[in-house]
Structure 1
Amino acid sequence: MARTRKYRIITTLERVNNRLTRWALRRGLAPRAFALLETTGRRSGLPRHTPVGNGLDGDTFWLVAAHGEQADHVRNLLAEPAVRVKVAGRWRTGRATPLPEDDTGRRSRSLPYQWDAAIGRMMATRPLTVRIDLDAG
């Protein structure tokens, strides 16, 4: 899968932002607009943490992955759909299901934090909706 110039530029900027946001999320210092997604590394088998927009809706967590299957966290959840999400300082377990037929623009506009969702739509190269069905908590 060829990576576009836009993808390379955006992901370079995201690496720096993700490090800062991940640090803040781990310490409970990040804004509520963000959550921490934990997947299992598809090759290493180790936990991998990725900052994502907060898409919590009851016992469902909605994620619009801006780069779709190009993103490592999406590749990881395709290999192992059991995930955890840290929202508002609390870990919840769940199962991820990619929804390639979903209207990502519409889904993104339905998320609770619109400023973050709007940035995601601008940066997106191959957006993909992922529904995470969370265990009752």
Structure 2
Amino acid sequence: MQKEIQHLAGEDFCYLTTIGRRSGKAHTIEIWFSLNDATLYLLSGGRDKADWVKNIYQQPSVQVRLGSITYMGRARVLAAGDEDELARQIVFAKYAPRSTDDLTEWSRASLAVAIDLLNEVK
């Protein structure tokens, strides 16, 4: 799958759909991302206080729309380590040149989340 999705790495945003931990309803947000093979990386500036992160803790099965294609995925909140550092580096590298804000502190202080993309939703 990784070759078939790499052309979507340059999209400005992805659309992440989680299941509400209280409502049980689908909630979709627009969020910055970076793609590495078949894993999508996100940074939560609100850390674990963000609703989408709270939803992931409750139900890690998610959907991600990249361009016009929707994928099923499994989300993981990353602990400090190599993958966490990779997530920070590649999301920062993608958006820092595009932003008028200094994203350095955001990339350091955010909570890193990985989504392993599983299959396309038909």
TM-score bin, normalised by smaller chain: 0.7 to 0.9
Cα 1:61/1:87, change in 2 over 3 Å = same
TM-score by length of 2: 0.72
Contact 1:38 1:85 (C-alpha < 8 Å) held by counterparts: yes
Determine if the alignment matches structure 1 residue 114 to structure 2 residue 92.
no
The question of 1:130 aligning with 2:113 is answered: yes
Deviates more, 1:80-89 or 1:97-106: 97-106
1:75 and 2:58 matched: no
| Runs of 4+ in structure 1 over 6 Å off | none
Structure that is richer in strand per residue: 2
Corresponding residue of 1:11: none
The answer to whether 1:54 aligns with 2:28 is: no
Where does residue 12 of structure 1 map in the other structure?
none
Percent of aligned pairs with the same amino acid: 26
Structure 1 portions without partners, runs of 5+? 1-30
Relative to structure 1, is the Cα distance of residues 100 and 119 closer, same or farther in structure 2, using a 3 angstrom cutoff? farther
Secondary structure of the structure 2 residue equivalent to 1:135: strand
What amino acid maps onto 2:26 in structure 1? P
Q: For the structure 1 residues 128 and 80, does the alpha-carbon distance in structure 2 shift closer, same or farther, using more than 3 Å as the test?
A: same
- Give the secondary structure class of the aligned counterpart of 1:107: helix
Q: CA deviation at 1:119?
A: 5.6
**TM-score normalised to the size of structure 1?**
0.65
**Contact persistence 2:63–2:72 (CA under 8 A):** yes
Partners of 2:15 and 2:54 in 1: how far apart? 16
Report the RMSD for the aligned CA atoms in angstroms: 2.7
Residue type matched to 2:24 in 1? G
Deviations 1:26-84 (A, max 9, x none): xxxxx822111100000000000111113222311111111110101000001100001
Aligned residues: 107
Q: How do 1:87-102 residues align onto structure 2 when only pairs under 5 Å count?
A: 87-102=66-81
